[in-house]
Structure 1
Amino acid sequence: MNNPSPEKLKAAIQALSQVRAVEGPPGDNGQRSVWHMSPQGAELLSLVDLEGRVQRQELTLLDDHYVWTSGEGLKTGRLENEGGAKAPTAAAIVHTDSQLMPVRLVRGAVALATYDGEDRYILHIKRVLALAREGLEMRDSSLGVASEPAPEPVVEPPTTATPLPTIVPVPPEAPESSKFEGLMMIAVLLVGLVAGIALLVWLT
């Protein structure tokens, strides 16, 4: 099943949400397994530490396979059943993709987006695939937008300087008070001159 329909993927997720999880005892490293398995081709295996934090998850969704670890992030892959399509999942071989396969990632994220339950383990893998899909879309959008070249700087043509006219300094005009004082001095000199002439005529 190379390209399963959205209806089959949605049905597998709905069936997975209806099964009761099986919890195993803590192992030597303190981690315990929580296993969800549905007859519709969906299986979720979660490894949880002593504090209840998810450390690893493996999701099988029909032929698609997803592995998430807290240290390495998300990887995609596909299942190949050695015994045919009806062989149990344990007999399947997982082929891990060399890098995240966008088709598988989007397919799984869209299928899990239909889940609206409260199972914390299904919600965890749902969030993981949603974030990975969001990061993929952001990367594609950034690569798809061509960077515009920086605009060339506008160089204004040099303007011809217009020579300023030669300014001839003009002596400032004498204030009105200075003019009045000059006239008074001339009048005094004329009066003195007339008085001197009259005195000279009288003496002769």
Structure 2
Amino acid sequence: MNTPSPEKLKSAVQALYQVRAVEGPPGDHGQRSVWHMSTHGAELLSLVDLEGRVQRQELTLLDDHYVWTSGEGLRTGRVEPDSASKAAAAAAVVHTDPQLVPGRLMRAALALETYDGEDRYILHIKRVLALAREGLELRDASVVKLSEERSPEAVPAAPVAREVNPGSEAVPNVPRSSSSEGVVMLVVFGVGLVAAIVLFISLL
């Protein structure tokens, strides 16, 4: 399926808010439907409760489909190309994505972001898509920041190469005695010598 151009999506959205919405009668639970349908591949169906609050919206933009409910949030999907014609719009087959597809979300959010009218139902779905887009961008930004802040694994330093004369044998690395150790040994030897002389004189 070819990805629709931004210009084509914006044209569909413009046609959507140029049509007059059709309101249906209240249903069994008091909900009523508000239907926006254009001839350019855009359709918005809203379900509203008795107090006028939007409970569910379904938006179709060409082959992309979006469903928002107050309890489950936003989901994306696609409309079956063969059944997306105007004559079969009521019987169109919608395939819901297993999870939110960022590409579909971005396309609809960008197409609706320029709308500055006063239709409360179009404003509602615009706000839903904008919030979902913002959440997606924040998530991606946090992932990038985390990967940048993660320090690389410690790499062991390479052994220092030491110059060895050809033909010489390797000399083991034996620690050398420090100068302070030599002084201590001399002092101990001197004290022992003095003690021996004193002992020898006392015996005489």
Listed one character per residue, the Cα deviations across residues 29-82 of structure 1 (whole Å, up to 9, x for unaligned) are 110000000000000000000000000000000000000000000000000044
Instruction: Judge conservation of contact 2:55–2:70 (CA < 8 Å) in 1.
Output: yes
Identity %: 78
Partner of 2:27: 27
Listed one character per residue, the Cα deviations across residues 106-164 of structure 1 (whole Å, up to 9, x for unaligned) are 00000001211110000000000000000000001111122345xxxxxxxxxxxxxxx
Partner of 1:104: 104
Distance 1:84 1:123 in 2: 25
Which structure has the larger Rg?
1
Q: Structure 2: where are the runs of 5+ without partners?
A: 152-204
Partner of 2:47: 47
- The one-letter amino acid of 1:39's match is T
Distance 2:86 2:59 in 1: 18
Distance 1:85 1:56 in 2: 23
Instruction: Judge conservation of contact 1:82–1:91 (CA < 8 Å) in 2.
Output: no
Matches within 5 A, 1:74-153: 74-83=74-83, 85=85, 87-145=87-145, 146=147, 147-149=149-151
- The one-letter amino acid of 2:53's match is R
- The one-letter amino acid of 2:115's match is Y
- The one-letter amino acid of 1:123's match is L
Count of equivalent residues: 150
TM-score of the two chains, using structure 2 as the length reference = 0.70
Partner of 2:37: 37
Aligned partner of residue 60 in structure 1, secondary structure: strand
Distance 2:85 2:92 in 1: 10
Instruction: Judge conservation of contact 1:42–1:62 (CA < 8 Å) in 2.
Output: yes
User: Which runs of structure 1 show a deviation greater than 3 angstroms over 4 or more consecutive aligned residues?
Assistant: 81-87
Aligned partner of residue 28 in structure 2, secondary structure: coil
Q: Structure 1: where are the runs of 5+ without partners?
A: 150-204
TM-score of the two chains, using structure 1 as the length reference = 0.70
Instruction: Judge conservation of contact 2:46–2:58 (CA < 8 Å) in 1.
Output: yes
Instruction: Judge conservation of contact 1:81–1:91 (CA < 8 Å) in 2.
Output: no
